[in-house]
Structure 1
Amino acid sequence: MEAIAVPSAVDNFLKRWKGNSGSERSNFQSFMRDLCTLLDLPLPDPGEGDTSQNSYVFERFIASPRVDGNTESRYIDLYRRDCFVLEGKQTGKQLASRSHQNAINAAVAQAERYIRGLPFEEVEHGRPPFIVIVDVGNAIYTYSEFTRTGGNYVPFPDPRHFEIRLDDLHKPEIQQRLRQLWLDPDKLDPSKHAAKVTREVSTKLAELARSLERSGYDVERVASFLKRCLFTMFAEDVELLPRESFQNLLVDIKDRNPEAFPHAVKALWDTMNAGGYSERLMQTVKRFNGGLFKNIDPIPLNAGQIQLLIDASKADWRFVEPAIFGTLLERALDPRERHKLGAHYTPRAYVERLVMPTLIEPLREQWGDIRGAAETLLRQGKDAKALQQVQAFHYQLCQTHVLDPACGSANFLYVALEHMKRLEGEVLGFISELTQGQGVLESEGLTVDPHQFLGLELNPRAAQIAELVLWIGYLQWHYRLNDRLDLPEPILKDFKNIECRDALIEYDSREPELDDNGQPVTIWDGISMKVSQTTGELIPDETGRATVYRYHNPRRAEWPKADYIIGNPPFIGASTMRRSLGDGYVDAVRQVFKGVVPDSADFVMYWWHTAAENVRKGNVQRFGFITTNSLKQTFNRRVLEPHLNDTKKPLSLVFAVPDHPWVDVNDGAAVRIAMTVGMAGEHPGQLRQVIRETSSENREARDVQLSQRAGKLFADLTTGANVASAEALEANEGISSPGVKLHGSGFIVTPEESVDLGLGRTQGLEHVIREYRNGRDLTQKPRGVKVIDLFGLKAEEVREYYPTVYQWVRERVKPERDQNKRATYRDNWWLFGEPRKDWREMSRGLPRYIATVETTKHRLFTFLNAEILPDNKLINIAIDDSAKLGVLGSRIHVAWSFSTGSRLGVGNDPVYVKSRCFETFPFPIFNADQSAIIGSLAERIDAHRKRQQHEYPSLTLTNIYNVLEKLRSGDELTDKEKTIHQQGLIAILRELHDELDHAVFEAYGWSDLEGNLVGRPGATTPLPDKPADQAEAEEELLMRLVDLNKQRAEEESRGIVRWLRPGYQAPDAVQTAVDIAPKAAAATSEAVTSKSKAAFPKAIPDQLRVLREALAERSYTTENLAGLFKRKPVKSVEEGLQSLVAVGMAGFDAHTQTWYSM
């Protein structure tokens, strides 16, 4: 690696600065300018009056947040946007001393606080990936957080090498590292380089696997052989074998005698298994054992195949990324999966986003308490007790078990292992400081290692790969932390930590399910693919079959004991479980979980329930799962609610991301998921919401920016207004329905085909061939199609009265229906799959009805004529009252629908779930004038849109409202958008919507909220990044709607129902008029019963924990904080607070004499 600075320049720099003991403030900026000059870096810019222009300056102003809601004026010593926050110190302390380490810890905590205080425009593309601490005259310390979402900053590149002493500036690699940190910090992210290496290696292995399979070797034998080869390559790169020894052996065999390959490799692997002297390598080889090198039978290779192995061995296996290697290796070794090798994999950054709050953050909090306790004991002169506390934590860390009950190839487990190894490195560093280097030796066996990472996996090959991934990851980190691998033998141990079995059920036996002819029932195996003859794309190969089994005496599977549970269970919806898993298995699972997991729940919810149950029983500390983003929908929420609402042993969600991009490991497809972390007891949680997604240099991931809110998290993964608690109202019952579900495209006909079938000539056919609309017809350009609706007719009647229609449907629908498993669909082939008898009843006699598209970017409501038959993707409301249309189309109802509904698809579009969005919604109580005004405005909006679309047929509602949203946000329109603006007369439409919103707010009596909502963006489509005043007003609006829902539900319990369509819903009932006009929600003051004070804990770590938790709520003086506890332990509280400051977990404001959380 080429040096940037010549040695003489480095010497001059060291002569000027090394050991300099002057004033921090006077020396820091001079030191940094000289360092930039030495490394040929740009010098910081002069500061501007406009702070937003200060992208690279000394003394960058920020308003740093405090937990009490206040802010402080602070100045970052040196700031470079998208690169780092740098804090300068001149400690004057001896390097590696406790006081020096405390000063560095405090500086890191301060820098993290500054990062949290950066304004939005500074973190538009994520938070700075680095924190740099400069101890002027001594050293530079680097900390990284490459997800750039505000997680933990950890020593970079690892706890052993994050300190750069000034003498290290002679090293070219250190010079290059600092330059990249300044100029392109993301290139220092090791996972990005590792991902590239890992892809290349996997591709070479796949090529060799294909070659061996073509030679006739069994797939399993090939996979086993290649796994041994790749581990041997890894072993030589981390010097468990002599460097390049295996590579040189391969070259020698290829050049001299390829036929000797199996004998030579077997000899090497036999020696690796047992340990001993290798004649081939002329060296003593460590004993590996662990099962990997048992029963070996190397495959003979020709020269070309050996060359493929040589090519793979040239990769630097030290930098293979275990977090993705397992997935790619599984694809490379399985011929049925190999076509996915170029597909996307789950990015490491996404995995970390769940691992950190589930496992690492609580462990680091515990470590902070222990460090603080040690500081207290050291100040008291109790050095031995301080060491004992830290060693006890290390022992606990090495006994902490993590379980992934659907581990696949162990990507979650590996990321957990890596971060626990990082933490262990910090702990061992502390022990070394306390013992002058005579701390715990890993060779004694006390270390974080694979035995702590447990997995359940049904696929045998994936389970074997998972074990291999964990060992490679462990050995990589051991090598990085120690610069060598001096491990006790055997190197590999057969911990049996990955179990190949079902995670949900156990059973006595199983037998194939038989059909009526006594033949085994089979289903598509979910893996086999073939090339489509028409499109050339891969499609399911139905000849690849899997047997369906019937299970005898199924029961709940017991999970291994663990402290934390984490994972990504299978994404299978309730409706597709039988097709994917077979009737016998699904019946067994549902039988076992009957009464606790409803049949309507997705497959993943069986894992979620089991983990939640373990946490609530005290068996597990936390669990974190990836689920589909339908988690908050009603059918899945029924699993969450009993756990969250239990009054005796509740579960709390302490972290949630309701909607996040993801990559499905099975096929590389982009999907949307939710993340949840559960903990026993009543605790506030962190709600993270995606507010921006942008494409990334890493093609696997999108750069995701998250907002953060704290508070109690509800079952619908929200905080603030508990919309999940809203009850369905009787007043809204029985008047909404999805449209018909065809189950056969042959029912759809063009106008020309309708004429050919007799429309206009055959009497009564106008009632059979009807106008038809689906979601795209409403939001995009209408197709102009019709549909054959034979509801109410028998097949014989259709054949007699409408023979041409009968033949059309028989030829185009019946063949498809004959293959359907459901008898009702198969036998009633001439009828729609779901003809919606209830909808036909509720809409009878209406001249029109209200419709909205179930899943769409913009939530819009419109009138459809009664002659139009709606599709299943339309949600329809059997009301022809324009005032009700106006309320539904108002900002108030749309906000409610976004909060109570769901999201779907890669586009993350809102889903209108009628049971939650409509049936729970409390309508206002109109007077006659309000009803007339709202109804008139709704009619004018509906007519305006239809008129302009009729005049300009290419004009779509989606385009109209995209432009309206842009107008509201103040963005400049493109030429195309200006044309849409003119054609749609969108300025007029905007006025009409604003007037409608004003009228509806007035009808509710909530005009005080108008100013921050009406006319603002986000009225028809979700606005992730709302201004604070708008977000606060929306939250208040939702809370008022929840309160009004409860008020209406209470009325209905007393028999007072405010029917929306009383003539249909309750023709014999009398609409009771009760004067309870809605009022703006007022803050109610309740007498707060003072709780009895708690005793201050005796153990120092527990003392620090309760102090830390108190400061997380607000700032305190010492006296006030001590007053929270019995006997007011001022001295102990003061000592504990000083310890929290020493380890960077608290700060002290000398002006107000208050302590605050960092």
Structure 2
Amino acid sequence: MNAVEIEEAVSQLVSQPFDPDEFPFAFLEAYGNKETTVKRLRKGNSNKSKMEGGVLQRNNIHIATCEPGAVADTLRQLQEAPETAKNKAKFVLATDGEELQAENLNSGETLACAYPDFHQHFTFFFELAGISTVKEIRESSFDIKATGRLNKLYMELLRANPDWATPERKQDMNHFMARLIFCFFAEDTNIFEGDNLFTGTVEQMSAPDASNMHEIIGELFRAMDVKAEEREAQGIRTWARKFPYVNGELFSGATDCPRFTKIARSYLLHVGRLDWQQINPDIFGSMIQAVADEDERGSLGMHYTSVPNILKVLNPLFLDELREQLEEAGDNPRKLLNLRKRIARIRVFDPACGSGNFLVIAYKQLREIEHEINRRRGEPDRPTEIPLTNFRGIEIKGFSAEIARLALIIAEYQCDVLYLGQQLALAEFLPLDAENWITCGNALRINWLTVCPPTGTGVELGGDDLFSTPLQQAQIDFENEGGETFICGNPPYLGSTWQSKEQKSDLKEIFAKYTKTWKSLDYVAGWFMKAAEYGTQTNAASAFVSTNSICQGQQVPILWPLIFKKKHEISFAHTSFKWANLASYNAGVTVVIVGISRQPNKVRRLFSFDEQNETIEKKAENINAYLVPASNIIVKKSSTVQDSRGIIEAGGKPVEGGNLLFDAEEARRIIDVDYRAIQFIKRVYGSSEFIKGDVRYCVWVSDENKSLASEIADFQDRFRAVAQKRLGSPKAATNRGAEWPHRFEEVKQLGDEQIIIMPKVSSESREFLPVGILPKGSIITDLAFGMFDAPLWNLALIASKLHLVWIATVCGQLETRIRYSNTLGWNTFPVPKLTTKNKEDLTRCAEDILLARERHFPATIADLYDPEKMPEDLRHAHERNDEVLERIYIGRRFKNDTERLEKLFELYTEMTAKKDRP
């Protein structure tokens, strides 16, 4: 269940008469427990509670109902009950139908409220529904409640007005909803004079059967677009004239409204009775988007970018520097004045602004700093000098662009109320400014200089391919010239596989003039390149959230040399972390944040996480394209290794059309028919066979045994089919393989080697690469790499965290899975010179890992390396291996992956320098 559905279920629960026997089960259903789960609890199969009226769900919650007045005592009993700890309950909850108390046993957070008010605190138990989210949105129950009510209204209107659900009229419906929300907000914040003016007028003037509802609302919308002195002439109805003139183009244009049913009328009145002054403009746009987006309707968190995550971009981009300057200014009036002037000229530009989250947060943060300046200067009531038009955006969806502008208007009003008071805020608010500084369009096709021109920067235009056409006039000139521009946002990621033809065309437009290899780039790379081009013409710095793949593997040598050629450097970065949101079914994508600038500070800032998931900030002289504190070096493929380690090769390429490979049942059938076949059948491994334990076999015939094998009838037929398959290929090399249909097209082994196997692709969720030893005589396909008859200490190197982070960084990923490479990952992996003692220690570590696996036979590699189920003895063997190896590198354990990569790149730089030395 998503947050909106939970809120609706909890509201329905508390609206019913309290039933002490039924409450625990109804509560669990409200938080998404399946009917079968609740049924087991009812029967007592899973109910281990020893308390009267108690229900205990393992790993979740211990609930008990009680007599009136006994809630506090009951909660204490739940906390102290041995079965609560034994069954690892995360929450305890007690209620008597009049009062409800609860505690989060992990965080110590508590809840106490009247039972009928429980629905106002439904977010307290989000964890029970698998919703892991940031504190800010969990506490914003109003926004979720409002989304649920709006969603019901929206869906009922679409049902009653199918013509408004068509693509042609969808924009009209979205615009209608935006107008409604403004009215709800305005009547609860005194923008409309009088209590409950909009909702009350609609309720009073509309018929109970809603037959004239659309006419009443339409007349109100028309009134708000006509100045007071013109209303009589325009024929505005008397009861609509008490509404203020709003302007701002919000109510201009068509005022026709969808027809209401009696149910839709009730929904609108329910929405209007909420307290809209609680609305959070940070997620205002996301809330509307959650209602309006057909694919993700009702899932507020799908669109929500949390404030802490936004600040991961904005703080190091420019806010931290402003706060430092404020600290240095102290109470010095002149320094404070200079800082205020600087802030008033700052432009924030989000070229993928969606519904405006980044712009709203940036505006609020700058207003907060400005207010502190005014307070220190003794001017607390001074109106703001920060114009909204300094916050520019580009958004491809028209409705989102409109909502972004409205969210900024509401943010400005709320800041005015906070810092200047209600009276001054109201005096400045209406009528709204009609200017629209949020551009609707494709950000990768628009010349950003036309949206956010470099006025007063002293930068000469021209001289760049991107700007060969004349500079167009921006939609709106800036109110103040000479400021800095900070570009930020969370653009769409989209790997090359998932891009549409139009999106690939967008990238071609940007990159084709620079490189022929642009097709493998993620879509987000277009924003980085556009920002670098824009930065050559302006005083700008940029930072975007991105999939981590643009800083890994094959995309690094394509994208980043182009960025560096534009004289941009990485000024700060956040290494990989999960960008999760509110939706319970969305685990979050792994992202990085990268800031680029032509004039970065001498000290660069690199943020990462330690083993306890605490944020670490590292100062560095340089951050390279792999987000490592090292020089701007690009790792290149190497055909050889530089030391005594083993050589890794890809397995043989079968190209046999299903004739040389088969399962165990087929192998038994072949042998039953002709027992001589047994000598030519061997166990074969690719990635799946090694990791999941799938059993497959292959025909393995050497050239000298071809005649003997061909005497077996089944093999004759198979060899004939293989030859036909290869002859039918358009590839000449495959055609030649028809001359040896008794073996793989490409043969890389004799067939009697001891093999260290490394799958080509494996899950990114594992903490260690799934390397292993195969039984002697095994065959590997080209879906795996193999090291033949090599010393066992090589396995210890491959199984280490050091090697995993190197592979993940320089080889990159296939979709989200780790992609292994011998030439790019193994041959380039920097290893210090190993002594005989080092190799003996590593051999012992490799043996311990293999022995630990054996103790859990027949568990597969997939079973053993499941992060949630990994056996402790196996984990300990790997930890010991990492400790031994890392002490070889630096004499101690590394603190985190950033430190591991820093050392590896230092060694790689030395290694390549020696190689290139004459």
Scaled by the length of structure 1, the TM-score of the pair is 0.53
For structure 2, the 5+ residue unaligned runs are 1-106, 108-133, 232-236, 448-465, 479-483, 707-711
Matched, 1:1049 2:912: yes
Alignment of 1:826-841 (within 5 A): 840-841=746-747
SS at match of 2:614: strand
1:709 to 598, 607, 618: 618
Alignment of 1:113-132 (within 5 A): none
Matched, 1:772 2:685: yes
1:493 to 433, 442, 452: 433
Cα distance change on mapping 1:674 and 1:665 into 2, 3 Å: farther
1:614 to 534, 550, 553: 534
Matched, 1:310 2:310: no
Matched, 1:253 2:205: yes
Contact 2:751-2:779 within 8 A present in 1 as well: no
Cα distance change on mapping 1:226 and 1:643 into 2, 3 Å: same
Between the aligned partners of 1:329 and 1:467, the Cα distance in structure 2 is 13
Alignment of 1:490-639 (within 5 A): 491-505=431-445, 563-577=485-499, 580-581=500-501, 585=505, 588-589=508-509, 592-595=512-515, 598-615=518-535, 617=536, 619-638=538-557
Q: Deviations over 1:1078-1115 (max 9, x none)?
A: xxxxxxxxxxxxxxxxxxxxxxxxxxxxxxxxxxxxxx
Between the aligned partners of 2:199 and 2:658, the Cα distance in structure 1 is 60
Deviation at 1:309, TM superposition (A): 0.8
For structure 1, the 5+ residue unaligned runs are 1-147, 149-188, 379-385, 508-552, 694-703, 814-822, 964-975, 1056-1158
Between the aligned partners of 1:390 and 1:554, the Cα distance in structure 2 is 38
Cα distance change on mapping 1:440 and 1:960 into 2, 3 Å: closer
Cα distance change on mapping 1:425 and 1:806 into 2, 3 Å: farther
Between the aligned partners of 2:254 and 2:866, the Cα distance in structure 1 is 67
2:576 to 658, 662, 683: 658
Between the aligned partners of 2:862 and 2:264, the Cα distance in structure 1 is 60
Alignment of 1:48-127 (within 5 A): none
Matched, 1:267 2:219: yes
Between the aligned partners of 2:348 and 2:547, the Cα distance in structure 1 is 22
Equivalent in the alignment of 1:782: 693
Equivalent in the alignment of 2:367: 421
Q: Which amino acid aligns with 2:311?
A: E
Q: Which amino acid aligns with 1:361?
A: D
SS at match of 2:426: coil
Alignment of 1:76-225 (within 5 A): 191-192=136-137, 195-215=140-160, 216-219=162-165, 220=170, 221-225=172-176
Contact 1:900-1:916 within 8 A present in 2 as well: no
Deviation at 1:461, TM superposition (A): 2.5
SS at match of 2:192: coil
Between the aligned partners of 1:564 and 1:236, the Cα distance in structure 2 is 35
Deviation at 1:563, TM superposition (A): 0.4
Cα distance change on mapping 1:629 and 1:1043 into 2, 3 Å: closer
Matched, 1:358 2:320: no
Deviation at 1:564, TM superposition (A): 0.7
Q: Deviations over 1:427-486 (max 9, x none)?
A: 33345x15xx6x6445xxx4432x222111222222222222222222232233333232
Equivalent in the alignment of 1:475: 413
Deviation at 1:311, TM superposition (A): 0.9
Between the aligned partners of 1:922 and 1:289, the Cα distance in structure 2 is 62
Equivalent in the alignment of 1:525: none
Contact 2:811-2:824 within 8 A present in 1 as well: no
Contact 2:654-2:745 within 8 A present in 1 as well: no
Deviation at 1:232, TM superposition (A): 1.0
Equivalent in the alignment of 2:62: none
2:858 to 953, 967, 973: 953
Matched, 1:689 2:608: yes
Equivalent in the alignment of 1:857: 767
Q: Deviations over 1:345-395 (max 9, x none)?
A: 4333222222222232233344445x35x61xx6xxxxxxx3xx6556445
Contact 2:772-2:795 within 8 A present in 1 as well: no
Between the aligned partners of 2:773 and 2:433, the Cα distance in structure 1 is 69
SS at match of 1:732: coil
Q: Which amino acid aligns with 2:505?
A: Y
Q: Which amino acid aligns with 2:182?
A: F
Matched, 1:405 2:351: yes
SS at match of 1:283: coil
Between the aligned partners of 1:790 and 1:424, the Cα distance in structure 2 is 80
Equivalent in the alignment of 1:54: none
Matched, 1:238 2:158: no
Between the aligned partners of 2:701 and 2:276, the Cα distance in structure 1 is 66
Between the aligned partners of 1:673 and 1:349, the Cα distance in structure 2 is 14
Between the aligned partners of 1:416 and 1:784, the Cα distance in structure 2 is 57
Cα distance change on mapping 1:267 and 1:420 into 2, 3 Å: same
Q: Deviations over 1:808-861 (max 9, x none)?
A: 9x9xx9xxxxxxxxx989xx99x9xxx9x9994544567133223444322353
Contact 2:313-2:543 within 8 A present in 1 as well: yes
Between the aligned partners of 2:859 and 2:800, the Cα distance in structure 1 is 27
Equivalent in the alignment of 2:394: 456
Cα distance change on mapping 1:440 and 1:901 into 2, 3 Å: same
Matched, 1:642 2:561: yes
Equivalent in the alignment of 1:1114: none
SS at match of 1:731: coil
Equivalent in the alignment of 2:99: none
Between the aligned partners of 2:252 and 2:660, the Cα distance in structure 1 is 62
Deviation at 1:786, TM superposition (A): 4.7
SS at match of 2:212: helix
Between the aligned partners of 1:774 and 1:801, the Cα distance in structure 2 is 26
Cα distance change on mapping 1:687 and 1:824 into 2, 3 Å: farther
SS at match of 1:675: strand
Q: Which amino acid aligns with 1:709?
A: K
Contact 2:653-2:747 within 8 A present in 1 as well: no
Deviation at 1:590, TM superposition (A): 6.1
Q: Deviations over 1:722-774 (max 9, x none)?
A: 59555544433984448879999999864224445778649879879852342
Scaled by the length of structure 2, the TM-score of the pair is 0.66
Deviation at 1:958, TM superposition (A): 6.5
Aligned positions, number: 719
Between the aligned partners of 1:292 and 1:274, the Cα distance in structure 2 is 9
Cα distance change on mapping 1:714 and 1:742 into 2, 3 Å: farther
Contact 1:345-1:665 within 8 A present in 2 as well: no
Deviation at 1:680, TM superposition (A): 2.4
Between the aligned partners of 1:412 and 1:789, the Cα distance in structure 2 is 61
Equivalent in the alignment of 1:228: 179
Q: CA RMSD in A?
A: 5.2
Deviation at 1:402, TM superposition (A): 1.2
Deviation at 1:878, TM superposition (A): 3.8
Q: Which moved more, 1:566-575 or 1:318-327?
A: 318-327
Q: Which amino acid aligns with 2:163?
A: Y
Cα distance change on mapping 1:478 and 1:784 into 2, 3 Å: same
Deviation at 1:918, TM superposition (A): 1.2
Cα distance change on mapping 1:482 and 1:1047 into 2, 3 Å: closer
Deviation at 1:607, TM superposition (A): 0.7
Q: Deviations over 1:967-1022 (max 9, x none)?
A: xxxxxxxxx999x64xx7x98x589x66x976x78xxxx86944x24xxxx8xxxx
Cα distance change on mapping 1:903 and 1:959 into 2, 3 Å: farther
Percent of pairs with identical residues: 16
Deviation at 1:600, TM superposition (A): 2.3
Deviation at 1:566, TM superposition (A): 0.5
Q: Deviations over 1:73-99 (max 9, x none)?
A: xxxxxxxxxxxxxxxxxxxxxxxxxxx
Matched, 1:885 2:820: no
